[in-house]
Structure 1
Amino acid sequence: MSFFWGPDYLYFYNDTYARILGDHHPAALARPFWESWEHLREGFTPILAEAQAGRACTLTDLRFTVVRNGVPETTYFSYALYPVFGADGEVVGILNPATDSTAAVVSNRRREFQLRLGDLIRSLTDPGDVIAGASALLGEFLDVDRVVYLTVDDEGRAGSIERDWTSGRLPSMAGAAVDLDDFGAFAVEGAHAGRPLVVSDVAADPRCAPHAGAYEAIGVRAVLAVPLMKNGRLHVLLNAHDSRVHRWTNAQLGMVEDMLERTWAAVESVRAQAELRRERDQSEYLFDNMAEGFALLDSEWRILRMNAEGLRLTHQTLAGVIGRSHWDLWPDLVGTPVEKLYRQVRDERQSGMIDIPYTLPCGDIWMEVRAYPALESGLALFFRDVTARKVADEKLREADRRKDEFLAMLAHELRNPLAPISAAAELLQLGKVDEARVRQTSQIIGRQVRHMTSLVDDLLDVSRVTRGLAELDMQPLDMHRIVTDAVEQVTPLIRNRRHHLALELPPDAPLVMGDRNRLVQVFANLLNNAAKYTPEGGHIGLRTEVRPGGVVFHVTDTGIGMAPELAARAFDLFTQAERSSDRSLGGLGLGLALVKSLVHLHGGTVTCASPGLGQGSTFTVSLPRLAAEEGGGAKAPVEEPAPPSGGGALRMMVVDDNVDAASILAMLLETAGHDVIVEYDAREALALSGIGHWDVFVLDIGLPGMDGNELAQRLRAQPATAGATLIAVTGYGQESDRAQTKAAGFDHHLVKPVDIDDLFAILARIGERG
């Protein structure tokens, strides 16, 4: 998250955003935006102008070059620009949340590379063409200057280059002989051990220094070399060369490994196919040392030959397959796309490929099968286990899905508490509110703010959500209070639409074991859903049944109802369907999917039923009941007490450039009897600090011009304020932030939103010390 402030777009950002800036950080902080991104001015100015004009905009997967530790990296980001308006309605700043989408873009590019590579090598029949085509494709995707497919001799000390690819910035090495020792023992030993060689900058890598001449002779500044080992011997060394410094990524290493394995297999397959067309008497050595299974079928589908790898993959013996019909051995493949592919290849004399699920005694795997036409209307089959690739692809899709689900949950969960806060704020503005109502309203605001803070703390842990983990704060709960809190959240909407809300609660409060915030969220979502889809003046009900093993809640409405097909998938994430002819309602979306997930996490169930369109809906939630003795005699929470007194009167200065935040804090402190001065500028605060005696300074850290840490250091340096208590109030709460404020001279570090009880307790201790 970053923020551009004022006409110069002064640049503020959080710790995560600092990684986007790379070497621009920390110099970019609180400086004009263009000082860091001058090279983007031409393309980015119109976008900023849109936001400055008051119109939000969103951009997806934009490519940026970020310099980190002096090395440029290609990255991708999705971000939005939201105008922030001042009190006069003018745009005073731009909020810029950004998400690093590099991993998703790179994974998509890797999948695209794999698909294009597969399409390419399937269409080629000459080994040299396979190597050249695959090298060109790899060079394009890696954005390097040269790709070299080096075939290593039997001794493993030298190699030859039949074909390569270059971008034009480096010369071709095709036809050259290469002595591996010229590039260092570390490179040779690593290759024979099957380890990739990764050098981002030859000039800066001490391993390369003794062999600088060899690298210079071929124009290499960065090199990535991946060995191919078969039967314990080095066969191929695939090299990606760049004339520039190049920070190699794991994704790029994966692309090279993909290309090498598949190109090797394709080259071997093409060579084997050519050999089959030239003569029938094949070399057993060739087949038994292939990296994948091979079978040769005649025109009657009888198996003439199968190599050792093929027998291993299919869990067969040579005596058990030779001479037998393919369809007798594997009758479950009859009538499947596999049979269709085989017949098509045999009839049309064109190769084909298919991935199929295959069941072995040890479990299910995925097999990649490539079929080629053989002599006398026969077939040559090549097959290998690609389960790992399939699993990796599925994990990528699942990661993308979880990312989208997380972002949806984040937006949805943060909105619910805003309704009671907004209503409470409007009530306080009416002016004629008695003290009891003010206390009740402030408790509502405080409760909802704490709820939002808790949600933010939970949802910021993105890695936990993307791994499918969810931590609940389980404790015995009074369901009467849960229902009451949920009703409190949706009451503004219900009143606005003039609904009649009927609550039927049993006299004895049933107990459940659960997470209070999450269960409030469940029932608030259901009630909000009912209010949203019930016409004005309609009826909404929440009825509770206490059963021996559980507590059942029925949320009913007289709304527009649902068709059977919509009711069946009402809880699916992102379900979008019309519940009436009014398209503005949009259909069921995120809320119900969230309800289902949370209820299941509590060991319960939730169902939906509707007699049909126009006849209302009923949502039923069932939760395991907690016996009274299990709950340890848990009772309903009591009303929250009013904030404690702040102790003896103190002379204080509050310094914060956020006028609203400073003003409301000052009012709270004055209410507690303290003498409070408010300043919005650090330099003016420093000038005023020399006048009179001061007990406490409450300082925001993110002040413009001079930040709170520097102001604290100057206050400590002044004799008049050296003994004052300094309290930091900031949105940064990591250990590194606390260490910085402590080093600057602060006595206390409070994280926004400030817990007033904690602040008053600190002031009380100061007052007691006199």
Structure 2
Amino acid sequence: MTKPDSGLAPPGSAAPQAESLAAVGHSSRRFEALVQPIEDYAIFLLDPEGCVATWNRGAARIKGYEAHEIIGQHFSRFYTEEAKARRWPEHELEQAVLHGRFNDEGWRVRKDGSMFWANVVITALREHDGSLAGFAKVTRDLTVERRQVEALRLSEERFRLLVENVSDYAIFMLDPEGHVVSWNSGATNLIGYRPAEIVGQHVSVFYPIEDLADGLPEAEMRRAAEEGRSVNEGWRVRKDGSMFWANVTLTAIHDAQGRLTGFAKVTRDLTESRRNEELEHSSEQMKQFLALLAHELRNPLAPVRNAIATLRLAPLTSAETDRARDLIERQIVHLTRLVDDLLDVGRITSGKIELREAPLELHEVIAHAVEAAQPFTAGRGQQVDVQVPETPLRMIGDHTRLVQVLQNLLHNASKFSPDGSRIVIDVHAASRVAQIQVRDHGRGLRPGTFESIFGLFSQDRTLPGPSENGLGIGLMLCRSLVELHGGTISATSAGPGTGSTFSIRLPLERTGMHGLGPLSSAPSLSPLSPPLAGAAHAAPSVPAAPALPALRVLIVDDNCDSADSLAMLFELKGHDVRVAYSARQARERIADFTPDAALIDIAMPEIDGYAALRELRGEVRLANTLFAAMTGFGQAADVELTRAAGFEMHLVKPVDAARFDEVLARAAERRQPAPGSAQAKT
């Protein structure tokens, strides 16, 4: 096979080589006159074999050789040993012959052995007949530029690592259309997406539905492009569907020609800060006052509720008396609800609200809320229509608190809507979020009040409506409880007389809570009265208690009316009752009396209920006595305290009569002899 002519003179061909050198010499004289004065570039000629034929000032300055030291030497002298070992100099000449020119960058060696980064262009020179005459070589020293580029690369790498390792801020880049192109660990921590899940997605995925409808993502990018940056605060959506209040800074990025190349976005989670700012309007004294007021109001409510239960057992002589009793009972229920709201406000403003989380089904929450609100709506001939999807809507949350939220909204809708009107609960799921809307056809809302109505003690008394508007804390409780579940609540209205719509958004199937406040599990002590247990029935009746033997009951309460009314109730049920208005009197009462059940108030002067329990527990005769605590506090921590002290049941004032029946039933069980055992003491 004949080897193709590479254009390089074969070894031992002396005559052609001499002719080529003569031609190169002639060309070099003209070339030298042009390039000799140039000092910023090394410009020289090589013969076809790669030996240096000319040398300019720039070559001497850059490479360190004088002309007489380098002319006639092979140009491979400028290359590193590694490059020569892989025949890179020969490769450059071969590529120049094949393609006319060869461009390369790499390390080169000066005379003194130092290295410099060179940009090299080798051009093949040919005679008129096409034969190879040699090569022109231009070399630039780019060491300084390379160091600058390397420094910039290192700086960018350090900045990238810095941004990547920021865990408290979501820092990421968008392209000019708003698609995510980078994603740091802080963004993963805050928003939940991993880089592979979000890069390439549009920034609108982080915005709630109403902001998308208003075109907020595009508006923010336009503002940033026009003004350089855009700063905004608002609700944003995590991957799991939960909401957080975000501070967002969007900065436009332009290239050297001023063209928009994208945006840098920095997001902070200010949910807790926002909540704290909202609660700053209520001073510490107000917090303490609300808690104290609500607790103290429970004491007078307890004897009134006991008296009502007693009246139900006593024979009634007229329908008027029956109606009066029912009226009093309805007002007691209303007062109890207000007291519960006041207690919750105190807990929320002091950061002590507790959620009892568990898996739940939203359909059940709505059904229980409608049932609890039925006395309000039925009393005014109003109809509640529930529209829910057929598929289950599962989430993690506090069933009782969510029922409380919806019951409050239904109560509001009923109170501010005409008799016989229709209230709609519309539920649907979208984008990992359940949206619940409560719509009414009542008095509506004035523009500008959609946000303020959720404030503490906020009421709009400028519109016609019921004279008894309550305390103005129900919607504040709703917002706080919804946000504790990682959701949001908002209100809209077309104006006065057009009705209102309250929208709740809750994340579905969350793996953790992103809301505020401490979370705890409910203790397993006796059932606790739910926050709005009394409000679930407009006129709760005393359920028919199972037939019980006559029991001995000790009541210890410094509130005489509360103790006496409860004693009256138990006596009407056929039980033997002793009343003590202090812990000391309790010791006296048991001198000749062994109670089957003892109900002890906790907040008593001098000797409280805990100390009273310890003294009574010390009596051997009371080993089988069932001890129940009576108190105005019903949080999980309060139940834990009474359980740790030795109480077996925890009753929250005002106590429903059915709860007293539970106490007596449990006490009676202890008196029942086990099969085959001796009869219990009488």
Q: TM-score range by the shorter chain?
A: 0.3 to 0.5
Which has more radius of gyration? 2
TM score, norm. by length of structure 1: 0.34
Structure number with the higher strand fraction is 1
TM score, norm. by length of structure 2: 0.38
Which has the higher relative contact order, 1 or 2, with Cα contacts under 8 A spaced 6 or more apart? 2
